[in-house]
Amino acid sequence: MASQNPIAPSPAAGLYGGSVFANVVQAPEDPILGVTVAYNKDPSPVKVNLGVGAYRTEEGKPLVLNVVRRAEQLLVNDPSRVKEYLPITGLADFNKLSAKLIFGADSPAIQENRVATVQCLSGTGSLRVGGEFLARHYHERTIYIPQPTWGNHPKVFTLAGLSVKTYRYYDPTTRGLNFEGLLADLSAAPPGAIVLLHACAHNPTGVDPTLDQWEQIRLLMRSKGLLPFFDSAYQGFASGNLDADAQSVRMFVADGGECLTAQSYAKNMGLYGERVGALSIVCKSADVATRVESQLKLVIRPMYSNPPIHGASIVATILKDRELYHEWTIELKAMADRIINMRQQLFDALRARGTPGDWSHIIKQIGMFTFTGLNTEQVTFMTKEYHIYMTSDGRISMAGLSSKTVPHLTDAIHAAVTRMK
């Protein structure tokens, strides 16, 4: 009979109650994604999820664009398609077409080969790669982000190796832009500092500068040598017009200066789960752009080696085909128009109800989100009493609203502001 030699337990195991990870504490839920976790646990038939930024139909269902289904069918039927690794920088066609989409096909930066574009893991991955590149190769390690901003921005840039500071952006008294505070804070920033700018449809406020204000921001930043880093998560999704939503970025590129832009196709093509995006760095010369790209590869290779092929292929198929591109713009405008219509319906309902306060900011703000002005106590009340789920700062996703749920939300807001002042 063969002798048995059982493996002795690790001496460390007993020290930690049977697990070397016994001292790991439970992390809190993500403040945004955690909203959906709580929503899913609620058995109420009247519950409404206005937390996560994902488009929903009038029936409250996720939407896969028809043009995306067509593009996928073309890819499936193409016998030449393989599943080989992409280069570190991603799909070449996707990169070229993405740069043209955000900067414009006639952009001198593109024509002069001054743009280094790499495919990344949606907007978050693009921001992280850009942040790590700057931490390694840019002389200033401080990035200024708007207050407030998307909750993931501080974490992304801190973990990338940058020091994060804020500049004033939102004015809670007017529920609009604190333009004077913005200019004052950027004026006080050290020369060369990096500045994160939301290209359009600011998240979470829905408040954007006017074109005249953008021009003043550009002049100030260029005069101080501040480096713009645009987060473009909603191109075409804000106004329904791809060119209009890229105007802020194009103003900075047109002056010949350098900048970074992170793009995402999660919202405007509904490719949330495909994680497809791009980082573009506009440089002073083609030679600099080539060297920048070489260093971006060194950031990406140990991070995720190379990006996935499917989502980028969908985007490239749509962007390079005139018919598919046209169909996309129609579907994109329909999504943007539905959100604008939801804004109007909610505003009209609150006004008809006689809810205290000026709610005109709902129709003045733009994009997926409305910054309601509701405080944490009011949000908690609405969740507990009306099963309305939203982030604690009062941000609601207009894309999660429908004509059927507007009356329920109106009742909840009315009760919150009259009973929880």
**Same domain membership, residue 228 and residue 101:** yes
The count of other CB atoms within 10 Å of the CB of residue 254 is 14
In a domain, 79, yes or no: no
* Tokens of residue 114, six digits: 């001054």
**Same domain membership, residue 373 and residue 305:** no
Domain finish residue from 272, 294, 320: 320
Q: Can you spell out the DSSP letters for 165-202?
A: EEEE-EETTTTEE-HHHHHHHHHHSPTT-EEEEESSS-
Please give the C-alpha separations between residue 363 and each of 176, 246, 366, 406, in angstroms, as whole numbers.
12, 21, 8, 14
Nearest to 238 by CA among 372, 333, 103, 132: 333
Total number of domains constituting the chain: 2
In a domain, 70, yes or no: no
The pLDDT of residue 12: 54
* Tokens of residue 369, six digits: 């989100």
Q: Which residue has the tokens 């260029």?
A: 222
Q: What does the alpha-carbon distance between residue 12 and residue 191 come to, in Å, rounded to a whole number? A: 52
Please give the C-alpha separations between residue 222 and each of 114, 171, 217, 269, in angstroms, as whole numbers.
18, 25, 9, 33
> In the 8-state DSSP scheme, what is residue 20?
T
* Tokens of residue 287, six digits: 């030679």
387: domain CATH number is 3.90.1150.10
Asked whether the beta carbons of 304 and 126 are under 8 A apart, the reply is: no
Q: What does the alpha-carbon distance between residue 195 and residue 197 come to, in Å, rounded to a whole number? A: 6
Asked whether the beta carbons of 394 and 419 are under 8 A apart, the reply is: no
Surface-to-core class of residue 110, CB atoms within 10 Å of its CB (0-12 exposed, 13-18 middle, 19+ buried): buried
Beta bridge pairs of residue 62: 56
β 259-264/277-282 pair status: antiparallel
The pLDDT of residue 53: 84
| pLDDT digit string, tens, across residues 274-323 | 999 999 999 999 999 999 999 999 999 999 999 999 999 999 999 999 99
161: domain CATH number is 3.40.640.10
In a domain, 363, yes or no: yes
First to last CA, the chain: 80
Beta bridge pairs of residue 173: none
Asked whether the beta carbons of 315 and 265 are under 8 A apart, the reply is: yes
**Same domain membership, residue 254 and residue 313:** yes
**Same domain membership, residue 274 and residue 169:** yes
| pLDDT digit string, tens, across residues 178-234 | 999 999 999 999 999 999 999 999 999 999 999 999 999 999 999 999 999 999 999
**Same domain membership, residue 173 and residue 104:** yes
**Same domain membership, residue 107 and residue 37:** no
In a domain, 347, yes or no: yes
**Same domain membership, residue 123 and residue 46:** no
In a domain, 252, yes or no: yes
Nearest to 217 by CA among 183, 191, 262, 251: 183
The pLDDT of residue 268: 97
Q: What does the alpha-carbon distance between residue 320 and residue 298 come to, in Å, rounded to a whole number? A: 29
**Same domain membership, residue 314 and residue 342:** no
Residues in the chain with pLDDT values less than 50: none
Alpha helices in 225-371 (DSSP H): 247-254, 286-304, 310-320, 322-353, 361-364
* Tokens of residue 288, six digits: 């600099």
Active-site residue list: 150, 231, 267
**Same domain membership, residue 395 and residue 356:** yes
Largest CA distance in the chain: 88
Q: What does the alpha-carbon distance between residue 31 and residue 151 come to, in Å, rounded to a whole number? A: 8
The residue segments making up the domain with residue 138 are: 85-320
**Same domain membership, residue 345 and residue 274:** no
The pLDDT of residue 60: 87
Asked whether the beta carbons of 190 and 163 are under 8 A apart, the reply is: no
Domain finish residue from 254, 287, 320: 320
What single-letter amino acid sits at 221? Answer: M
**Dihedral (CA of 284, 288, 292, 293) sign:** positive
In a domain, 328, yes or no: no
In a domain, 193, yes or no: yes
**Same domain membership, residue 348 and residue 308:** no
The count of other CB atoms within 10 Å of the CB of residue 145 is 24
**Same domain membership, residue 134 and residue 202:** yes
Please give the C-alpha separations between residue 97 and each of 106, 177, 266, 329, in angstroms, as whole numbers.
12, 33, 16, 15
Q: What does the alpha-carbon distance between residue 343 and residue 347 come to, in Å, rounded to a whole number? A: 6
In a domain, 16, yes or no: no
* Tokens of residue 13, six digits: 């195991």
